[in-house]
């Protein structure tokens, strides 16, 4: 069983479209994150949720909207996709906000054309 | 602001040699310092971590050292093997206890057989 699973693994879409990425963890962790990895491999946090509550909301365009229906799931919806949104998006989870032992998913490579 | 600098950006060693990657951090309240290994097409995987109350930690061929006064920490890999080839990231926790990690820019390690 995959501990943190993301779908889809690849996403190719046109500018202006709306898309969603889903993440699920079966580790029983309370905290989940979205990180963006750019073309230079730099990892930057976007959002975090702790037990369905939004904890971190970095300087991210409001076209990005996370949703956590329960503590095992964290989804990312992106409206009006732009070329600059092309990146690899990683979901991660940790036991809680005080325990930083992240487990990452395998990533979703988003390509906007 | 919060920042983690990582050097070198690329490192090439012969199999059996040692590899050292260094990071410095800016937030004096950081107290958790993990290292991640990212293989091609996969998510980062935690390989070792250290907390601020410890100066050194070792796990088989991997060791991490921390100098809190100088605000830097290092990853040491001994007896390198081709399967150690990957991108390595250091990270530091942020003082807000939100679970947020700031990542370094990454080091691409190549181990030549």
Report CB contact under 8 Å: B99, A33: yes
Q: What was the pLDDT predicted at B76?
A: 98
**Is the alpha carbon torsion for A47, A51, A52, A53 positive or negative?**
negative
How far apart CA A104 and CA A4 sit, in angstroms, is 6
| pLDDT recorded at residue B54 | 84
Low-confidence ranges of chain B (pLDDT < 50): none
* pLDDT higher than threshold 90 for residue A52: no
pLDDT confidence of residue A99: 80
Among B41, B58, B65, B7, smallest CA distance to A104 is for B41
Instruction: Count the residues in chain A.
Output: 113
Contacts of A6 (CB under 8 A, 6+ apart): A21, A22, A23, A89, A90, A91, A105, A106, A107, A108
Average pLDDT over every residue of A4-31: 97
What chain B residue is nearest to A56 in terms of C-alpha separation?
A: B98
Q: Which of A40, A90, A98 sits opposite B43 (nearest CB)?
A: A90
Mean pLDDT of chain A: 94
Tell whether B43 is within 8 A of chain A (Cβ). Answer: yes
Read off the pLDDT band of A98 (50, 70, 90). Answer: confident
Q: Which of B32, B42, B87 sits opposite A100 (nearest CB)?
A: B32
| Neighbouring residues of B99: CB distance < 8 A, sequence distance ≥ 6 | A31, A33, A48, A50, A55, A56, A94, A96, A97, A98, A99, A100
State the pLDDT confidence band at A54, using cuts at 50, 70 and 90. very high
Indicate yes or no: CB of B46 within 8 angstroms of CB of A103: yes
Nearest to B87 among A33, A41, A96 (CB): A41
Query: What band does A45 get if pLDDT is binned at 50, 70 and 90?
Result: very high
Contact map slice: B 48-107 vs A, CB within 8 A:
49, 87, 89, 93, 97-101, 103, 105-106
Separation between Cα atoms, residue B113 and residue B100, nearest integer Å: 37
Substitution target in B35, B43, B96, B109 with the highest count of A β-carbons within 10 Å is B43
Confidence band for A44, pLDDT divided at 50, 70 and 90 = very high
Residue B110 has a pLDDT of 98
Spell out the long-range contacts of A97-101 with Cβ–Cβ below 8 A and sequence spacing 24 or more: A97/A30, A97/A31, A97/A48, A97/A50, A97/A55, A97/B97, A97/B98, A97/B99, A98/B97, A98/B99, A99/B99, A100/B32, A100/B34, A100/B49, A100/B93, A100/B99, A100/B101, A101/B34, A101/B46, A101/B49
């Amino acid at each position: 069983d995959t501990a943190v699973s993301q779908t889809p693994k690849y996403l190719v879409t046109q500018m202006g479209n709306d898309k969603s990425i889903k993440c699920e963890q079966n580790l029983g962790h309370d905290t989940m994150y979205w990180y963006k990895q750019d073309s230079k491999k730099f990892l930057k946090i976007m959002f975090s949720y702790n037990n369905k509550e939004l904890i971190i909301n970095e300087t991210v365009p409001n076209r990005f909207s996370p949703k956590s229906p329960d503590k095992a799931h964290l989804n990312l919806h992106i409206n009006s996709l732009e070329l600059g949104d092309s990146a690899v998006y990683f979901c991660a989870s940790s036991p809680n906000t005080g325990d930083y032992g992240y487990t990452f998913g395998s990533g979703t490579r988003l390509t906007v054309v | 602001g919060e920042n983690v600098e990582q050097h070198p950006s690329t490192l090439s060693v012969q199999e059996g040699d040692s590899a050292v990657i260094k990071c410095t951090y800016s937030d004096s309240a950081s107290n958790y310092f993990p290292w991640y290994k990212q293989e091609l097409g996969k998510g980062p995987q935690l390989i070792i971590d250290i907390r601020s109350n410890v100066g050194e930690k070792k796990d088989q061929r991997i060791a991490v050292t921390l100098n809190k006064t100088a605000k830097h920490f290092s990853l040491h890999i001994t007896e390198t093997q081709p399967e150690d080839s990957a991108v390595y990231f250091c990270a530091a926790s942020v003082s807000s206890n939100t679970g947020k990690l700031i990542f370094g820019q990454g080091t691409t390690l190549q181990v030549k057989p």
